[in-house]
Every structure is written in C-alpha cells, then in structure tokens.
Amino acid sequence: MLKTLVAIVAFVCATAAVAQESDVTASQSSASMANLIKQGYEIKSSSWTGSKLFVFLQKDKSAYACEFANVTNTRCGSIN
C-alpha cells in the first residue's frame, strides 16, 4: 500500500509538470490529474494492471479514471 501511495505522489508531481505544457481542462471529457486535484477531486482508489497504474478520482457525483503507462504517457477521462 505504501509503494502505491508513493507511486501516486510521484506520478502526480510528474503529471503537474506535463500539464503545464499542455492546456487541457476538465471541461472536456479528458483532463490531467494535476488539474483534477486542483479542482478538488480526491483520489479514491488505485490499481496496478500489468505495467499500468489506474487511479480513480471523485468529486461529488463526478468521477475520472487516470491511466499511467509511464511518467510521460498518462491520460484521464470521465467515467460518468
């Protein structure tokens, strides 16, 4: 569990740097994890599947899933 938490924190920091370069907003169906956290979304769960990490974020009745293939290849999308 601690390794997962450390991995999430590392990916959030890396995503923040990447998000500054790409102008993605949460008003679209996809967003960066850094932007979602800034908007008040909370990490509710995470799961490793093979070589990818999936992180699930929620705020009120809105939810996003973020996929991390590696530090520079990430994507988040609305799941509701």
Residue 50: φ, ψ to 5°: 65, -120
**pLDDT over threshold 90, residue 61:** yes
pLDDT tens digit sequence for 20-54: 444 444 344 678 888 899 999 999 999 998 888 99
pTM of the model: 0.60
pLDDT score at 18:
43
Average of per-residue pLDDT values in the chain: 75
CA–CA gap between residue 57 and residue 39 (Å, rounded): 11
- CB–CB of 30/77 below 8 Å? yes
Would you call 15 helix, strand, or coil by DSSP? helix
CA 80, 73, 18, 46 dihedral sign is positive
**Alpha-carbon gap, residue 50 to 16, rounded angstroms:** 24
